[in-house]
């Protein structure tokens, strides 16, 4: 009994009618089968295991033979004014990296006939600190210490020069301002002394006029002993009263001038004290460059032996798989060529 084919019984690719040519009934050869991949790995397992084992052995050997490193750290502080560096930290670091360090390394290599260690520069943001770091094995620690010392000496010398320049500038500003104020103070002092002398002379003149005035008044009161006529004495008395009035006005004017000079003198003295305080504050705001700490600290390997061995195992497995497929590819290509 023939079995009838109904639509949906078999896929269209299995139909043998004219509507479905032969090409549509073939399964493409380039489809990847996981089973085939697994069989390739099974056939080439010795390649996989061998390469994985070699890479793992090399990684393990490297991890076990790696010497423990040390981090040598030098901390430097910028010369600053009110905690702000006197020169941009970026400018100092750029000069160190592009000019100073290459030159110091060249000198170091010429003197010691060995390669100079590397130095990492780090500026702690928002602070005056510049940190130099080098990670080396313990036997190379003296080289790092020597190179760090050279960098430290250059840094302290340049920052010290910068500090002295700012300090000299502040001292010059203070000296100029103080000299100007002192000159004004001396001039006011001289004027004050001159005015005092003039006031004493005017006071003496007023006293003399007052005595003459009193003497003439006594003569007028005692008419019996008059040497001159009463009319003349009254004229002289009136003249002396005018002279006394003028002299008194001059005394008051000189006293006001003296008061003004004293006020100006006190004001200049206050300005001199203020300038001195300002100078002292500006000097206190300056901070010298320092090298507070130099230290060598033990540092574990960045990866660690266990992690290195684990990465070696993973890398070895990946390389083994690639080698197995490549060996299978070569075998297949050789078979097709023959």
Q: DSSP labels for 254-307?
A: HHHHHHHHHHHHHHHHHHHHHHHHHHHHHHHHEE--EEEEEEEEEE--SS-HHH
C-alpha 108/C-alpha 117 separation (Å) is: 10
| pLDDT tens-place string over residues 87-105 | 888 898 899 889 998 998 8
Using a cut of 0.95, tell me whether the model's pTM lies above it: no
The tokens describing 306, both together, are 């266990």
Q: Starting at the edge strand that comes first in sequence, how are the strands of the sheet with 286-287 ordered? A: 84-85, 80-81, 286-287
Residues contacting residue 296 through CB under 8 Å, at least 6 positions apart: 70, 71, 72, 73, 141, 144, 145
Neighbours of 207 (CB within 10 A): 11
pLDDT bucket at 301, cuts 50 / 70 / 90: very low
Lowest mean per-residue pLDDT among 226-230, 246-250, 280-284: 226-230
pLDDT (0 to 100) of residue 109: 85
**Residue 194 scores a pLDDT above 70:** yes
pLDDT bucket at 4, cuts 50 / 70 / 90: very low
């Amino acid at each position: 009994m023939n079995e009838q084919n109904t639509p949906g019984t078999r896929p269209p690719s299995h139909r043998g009618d004219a509507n479905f040519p032969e090409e549509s009934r073939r399964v493409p050869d380039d489809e990847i089968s996981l089973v085939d991949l697994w069989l390739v790995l099974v056939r080439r397992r010795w390649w996989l295991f061998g390469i994985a084992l070699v890479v793992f052995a090399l990684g393990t050997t490297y991890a076990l033979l790696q010497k423990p490193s040390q981090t040598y750290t030098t901390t430097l502080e910028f010369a600053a004014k009110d905690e702000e560096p006197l020169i941009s930290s970026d400018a100092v670091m750029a000069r160190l990296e592009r000019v100073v360090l290459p030159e110091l390394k060249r000198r170091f290599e010429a003197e010691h006939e060995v390669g100079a260690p590397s130095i990492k520069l780090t500026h702690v943001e928002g602070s005056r600190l510049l940190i130099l770091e080098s990670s080396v094995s313990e036997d190379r620690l003296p080289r790092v210490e020597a190179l760090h010392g050279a960098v430290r000496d250059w840094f302290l010398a340049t920052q010290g020069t910068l500090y002295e320049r700012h300090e000299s500038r502040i001292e010059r500003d203070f000296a100029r301002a103080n000299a100007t104020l002192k000159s004004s103070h001396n001039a006011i002092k001289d004027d004050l002394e001159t005015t005092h002398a003039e006031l004493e002379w005017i006071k003496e003149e007023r006293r003399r006029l007052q005595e003459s005035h009193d003497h003439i008044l006594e003569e007028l009161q005692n008419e019996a002993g008059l040497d001159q006529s009463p009319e003349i004495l009254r004229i002289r008395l009136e003249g002396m009263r005018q002279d006394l009035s003028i002299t008194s006005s001059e005394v008051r004017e000189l006293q006001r001038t003296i008061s003004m000079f004293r006020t100006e003198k006190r004001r200049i003295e206050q300005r001199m004290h203020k300038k001195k305080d300002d100078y002292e504050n500006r000097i206190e705001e300056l901070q010298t460059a320092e090298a507070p700490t130099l230290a060598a600290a033990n540092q574990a390997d960045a990866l660690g032996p266990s992690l290195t061995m684990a990465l070696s195992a993973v890398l070895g497995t990946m390389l083994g798989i690639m080698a197995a497929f490549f060996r299978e590819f070569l075998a297949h290509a050789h078979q097709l060529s023959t």
